Amino acid sequence: MTMAYGSCRRTCGTTILRLREIQRVLDVKGGSAECIVITYHSENDDPRAWTQFRKTRNLDRPNWHFLSGSKWNVSRVSWLLGLDFGTMDSHVIHDFKIVVLDSDGALNQQISMAPVDFERLF
C-alpha cells in the first residue's frame, strides 16, 4: 500500500517502479499481493483519471487498485500510513514509502527510497 498521484513527474514514478519490481519477484516466487495506490490529489485523480493512468502504464492486472477519496479521507489515510504531504501550486510535495501489510493487516515492512533486495525481502 502506498500513496501517489497521477500527474507526479518524479517520486510517484519511482513508487510504481518499486511496486512493479515487487510484483515481478512475487510472480517468480509464486506469491501474490494486492497493490493498493491511494491518491494524494483527490481533486484530479478520480476513478476516470486512475483508469487512464492504469491504461497508459499497462497496470491492468486485477490485483492493482487505484483509489480516490475525499480530501479528509486522503489526509486521514496519509496520517495512518505515516506519509506527509502538502500542496504547492498544482504540485503535491510528498513522502515516499511503500507499506507492506500481512494478511491480517498488520505492518510487515516499510520500503523507502533506500536500495532494497526484493528477492530476499519477499
Place of cell 493512468: 53
| pLDDT the model gives residue 76 | 94
pLDDT tens-digit series, residues 69-109: 999 999 999 999 999 898 887 778 888 999 999 989 898 99
Q: pLDDT confidence of 16, banded at 50, 70, 90?
A: very high
The count of residues in the chain is: 122
Mean pLDDT, residues 52-63 taken together: 95
Element (H, E) at 119: helix 118-121
| Backbone torsions φ then ψ of 84, nearest 5 degrees | -80, 145
Q: pLDDT confidence of 121, banded at 50, 70, 90?
A: confident
**In the CATH hierarchy, which top-level class contains the domain 2-117?**
alpha beta
25 sits in the region (left: phi over 0; alpha: psi -120 to 50; else beta) called alpha
Place of cell 500481512: 102
